Amino acid sequence: MNFMRGGWTIRTVAIGALSAAAALAQETPLPDNAIYVNLPKGAPVQSMGVDKRDSRLSTRGSAILVDLDALVTLHNISSNRIHGMTLRVVAQETAIGGRAWMSIPALNIGPGDYFPVHIVQKLVRPGAMGVGAGPLVEVTVDGVVFQDLSFYGPDQLHMRRDLVAWEMEAQRDRNYFKQILARGGPRGLQAAVLTEMQRMQDRPQLDRPQIHRGPMVTSAAAPIAERNQKLQFVAFNDAPVEVVSGSAQVAGAEVGAPHIEVRNRGALPVKFVEIGWLIEDQSGQSYLAATVPSTQDDLGLGAGKTVAFSQDTSMKLSRNGQPLNIRGMRGYVSRVEFADHKVWVPSRQNLDDPALRNVLPPSPEVVRLVEIYRTGLDKLVAELNKE
C-alpha cells in the first residue's frame, strides 16, 4: 500500500486504499445487482461473475454507506501473462468517500486462466442516487501490467509506475529463487526460503509515523533543539541516478523538510526518482522510515544533469509506542522511472548491502512465494517452473 501523507510514502506489502466511510448503522445485505463490473471492449480480462459475500449497506442521513466484501472472478482473455493489476471501485465519483482503489501486484495469471479478486472497501453514495437507481458500485480495470512489461489501461490512478516497478522486483526475486532451485534443487530452495522467512520475522519496524505538512512542531513546555542532519548514502554502481546530497531537519523523534539532490549519470532522460529513507536510533539500529519521491510531475532530468527536490512535510517516529531518538539517517535510490515509462529497481546484489540486508521489507513477490511455500515445497517448485 502506498500511503501518501504530504509527500512521504509509507510502503507496505498489502495493497489498496479504503475510503473514509463512516461506521454503518441498520445494515442490510447488498442487493444482487448492486455491483457492476464495467470492462471496456479490448480489456484483457472478462468478468465471470460476482459473489457479493458479506457485502452490506445502510443509510445515514441522506447517504448510503456500502461495506463491500465481494469476490469478483476474472478471466484472462489476452495472449499474455498478467502480473499486476489496479482496479477502480466507485460508488459516486464526486462524493467524499465515494471512490476507492486497489492494486494487486505479484500475480501470475496465464492466458485463459480464471482468478478471483477479493474487494474489501467502504464507500459512500448520496441517497438520491441510491437503491433502485441501478448498481450501487462500479468496478473497472484502471491498469494491467503483463509479463513482458507492456501495459493496458487508462491509468487514471497513476499507478503504472508502481505496477511496472513491482513487476521488475518480481522478476528479480523470482529469477533469484529459480537460480537457487537450478543449482541446489528443492532442498537448496527450501533453505533460501527459510532464510527469507527468518529475515521477514526479524526485520525491525517502526510504528506508523504521524505525518503532517509544514514545519516541525515541538512542545513549548519542553522544546527540542532542531539540527540539520545530512544523509549518508548507500551507493549502487549500476544505479542510473546518483544522489549528490541530502539532508533533513531533525528534532528528537521528528524529522522533516527532506531535501535531495540527484544527478543523472546515464544516457536516458529520467522523469521520477524515489529515495529510500533509513533512520538510525541511539543504539545503532536502523529502520526503514519511508521513501521520498520526487515531487515534480516530470523531473526532466537529462543525461549528466542535476536537479533537487524537497518537501514541506515532517513525521514523528516511534517504536512500540516510544518516541525514537534519531541519531543518523541514510538513503539509497529505490526506484527510477525513465521518460519512456521503463523503471529501474535495485538488484538482489544491491539489496544485500549490510546497511540494507536486514532492514528492507520483502517485495510482494517474495511474500507470495513464501505463502506458496507454506502450502508445500512441491507447490513452490511447480510455481517456479511455470512459464
Instruction: Specify the pLDDT at position 26.
Output: 65
Comparing 309 with 131, which gets the higher pLDDT? 309
What pLDDT score was predicted for residue 17? Answer: 40
Cell of 209: 509515523
Measured from the Cβ of residue 304, the count of other Cβ atoms closer than 10 Å reads 10
DSSP summary character for residue 301: B
* Residue-level pLDDT at 210: 86
Domain extents in the chain? 2-153, 167-202+367-384, 210-359
For Cα atoms 50, 56, 61, give the angle at the middle one, nearest 5 degrees: 135
CATH tag for 210-359 (out of 3.30.379, 3.30.1380, 2.60.40, 2.60.120): 2.60.40
Angle at 151 between CA 146 and CA 153, to 5 degrees: 120
Q: Among 48-52, 219-223, 309-313, 373-377, whose mean pLDDT is lowest?
A: 219-223
Q: Identify whether the C-beta of residue 256 lies closer than 8 Å to the C-beta of residue 249.
A: yes
What percentage of residues in the chain have a pLDDT greater than 70? Answer: 88
Question: Which residue type sits at 61?
Answer: G
The 10s digit of each residue's pLDDT in 115-151 is 999 999 999 988 655 455 678 999 999 999 999 999 9
Listed in sequence order, the residues at least 6 apart from 9 whose beta carbon sits closer than 8 Å to its beta carbon are 2, 3, 274, 290, 291, 292, 293
Q: What is the CB neighbour count within 10 angstroms for residue 333?
A: 23
- DSSP letter string over 171-216? HHHHHHHHHHHHHHHHHHHHHHHHHHHHHHHH---PPPPEEEESS-
Maximum mean pLDDT: which of 17-31, 219-233, 306-320, 368-382: 368-382
For the stretch 220-225, contacts whose Cβ atoms lie closer than 8 Å and that sit 24 or more positions apart, written own/partner, are 224/251, 224/252, 224/254, 225/251
Whether 2-153 and 210-359 share one fold: the answer is yes
CB 281 within 8 A of CB 324: yes
Looking at the domain 2-153, which fold is it? Immunoglobulin-like (2.60.40)
Q: What pTM does this model have?
A: 0.86
Q: What is residue 224's three-state secondary structure?
A: coil
Where residue 4 falls among pLDDT bands split at 50, 70, 90? Answer: very low
- The mean pLDDT of the chain is 88
Measured torsion, CA atoms of residues 210, 212, 218, 219, in degrees rounded to the nearest 10: -70
- The pLDDT tens digits for 154-205 are 999 999 999 999 999 999 999 999 999 999 999 999 999 999 999 999 999 9
- 26-65 CB burial, b ≥16 within 10 A, e <16: eeeebeeebbebeeeeebbbebeebebeebbbbbeeebbb
Candidate from 125-129, 253-257, 383-387 with smallest mean pLDDT = 125-129
pLDDT tens track for 312-363: 888 999 999 999 999 999 999 999 999 999 999 999 999 999 999 999 999 9
